[in-house]
Amino acid sequence: MSGRPRRLSVRIRTQIALLSLVVAAALLATWQFGEASGAYQDAVRQEIKRRTAVVEDARFVYGEEGPPAFTVAVAETRAERLRPLRNDGRPAASEYAVAAQTAFQLRRAARPDSLLGNSTYRQDLGYDLPRRLADIQTGSPDLYGLDPGATLQRGDSWSVAGRVSVAVGAAGVLAALCAANVLRPHRWQQARTPSGRRVLRDLDIIPQPAIAPAGRRRAVLLHLVVFVLPLLLPLGQILAAGNEQRALAEAARDDIRLSTSISLQLHRTAFFSNSLVAAKVAELQAPARELAALDTGIGPGAAHHERRMAAVERVVARDTEAIARYMGRPPTRADGVDPQTVTAMAQDLRDLSAAQAEQHRQVDLADSAGRRSLYLSAATSLAVVAEILAVAALAARSRGWRWWPAVCAVLSVAVTAAAYL
């Protein structure tokens, strides 16, 4: 009978099952948080691609196509206002010819698929830049169809699954800790199985204070506490690393959105400001012509013509300002512009403090999670050393040796506590 293989006791099988559960949960959580990290990085990459497309399209519309279109709109308006005066005097005729030819030559030189080359963008107050931007964005569905927010949520789903795995692993460790201190009732213990195989009971994978001799129970209990630390602390590391990746991704996305909003605002406001300057310059031409009529010693007819020209200059200045405000207006969803672009271009640069504060908060969260992960790594190392010393103390059967694993375990717990403070 002694040569026949022995069956493992329920206690040993429970130890193996709980250890297997903890290891499987740790491996699964590592994989799940890895998938979450990959999704977070994909979200950042998508945000960068989208940002590049949005800023480039806005630069093209407001930086390249917008200024010549504004020049044409102002020239056409000027020519229209000067038309009634072109036969009354040489100055009006000359100014009318310059304005008309400027508009004609710029339109003729434009490509058919450009803002100036497509008459559908021409409105009463100039060219419809937001609609032009919307049409350009529609031509890049692969870029504007990217949804970094959805990708981030996919990462969050993996992160939630990873947290569940960590919780299962932690529950397994606590279950092992409790089971090691529970003694099965004597009537449940069987020395033999019906087949005659003996039950193996003297194999302790996890320290078992419940069945340890009375004189060694405290030492085995200390060993158990030290034993569970290297099982529990890596789960905290996995969780901290996952939190760090999430915060880093969110901080990066916030930074990209901030820079995108600033860039878009600068492109639009630069065009708008330059257009308003042109309107102010046109407004100054009216009193300049009146002064010229008084100071140059010209005849009454020519002076009257200059005063009529000055009146036209005032009207052209008002028209120029109206054109500038129409073409430089912030786009809306009604224009067909991408909603995120609309939001970014509608923000006042002075009102970005809340977004900056959120970005700083995410950076602080990432820094805290990274520091926590490093502390837990140090605590795990101390716990491993404590486990080695605990095994040595049990083998030496000396009370003096128990201080060494106890000190290392206390240090490990202290470092762990510091990680969460």
Which own/partner pairs from 401-406 qualify as long-range (CB within 8 Å, at least 24 positions apart)?
402/219, 402/222, 405/222, 405/223, 405/226, 406/222
Q: What is the structure's pLDDT at 308? A: 77
Does position 193 have pLDDT exceeding 80, yes or no?
A: no
The first and second tokens of residue 326, run together, are 């129409």
**pTM of the complete model beyond 0.85:** no
pLDDT digits (tens, 9 = 90+) for 47-74: 999 999 999 999 999 999 999 999 999 9
pLDDT digits (tens, 9 = 90+) for 335-356: 899 888 898 888 776 667 777 8
Spatial distance between the Cα atoms of 410 and 252, rounded to a whole number of angstroms = 38
Polymer length in residues for the chain: 421
pLDDT digits (tens, 9 = 90+) for 244-299: 999 999 999 888 888 888 888 889 989 999 999 988 888 887 777 777 666 655 66
Domain range summary for the chain, segments of one domain joined by +: 11-180+206-419
pLDDT digits (tens, 9 = 90+) for 370-393: 899 999 999 989 988 888 888 787
Half-sphere exposure of 293 (CA within 13 A, CB side): 19
Mean pLDDT, all residues of the chain? 84
CA distances to 313, 354, 361 from 357, in Å: 48, 5, 6
Residue 123 bridge partners (DSSP):
126
Q: What is the structure's pLDDT at 351? A: 67
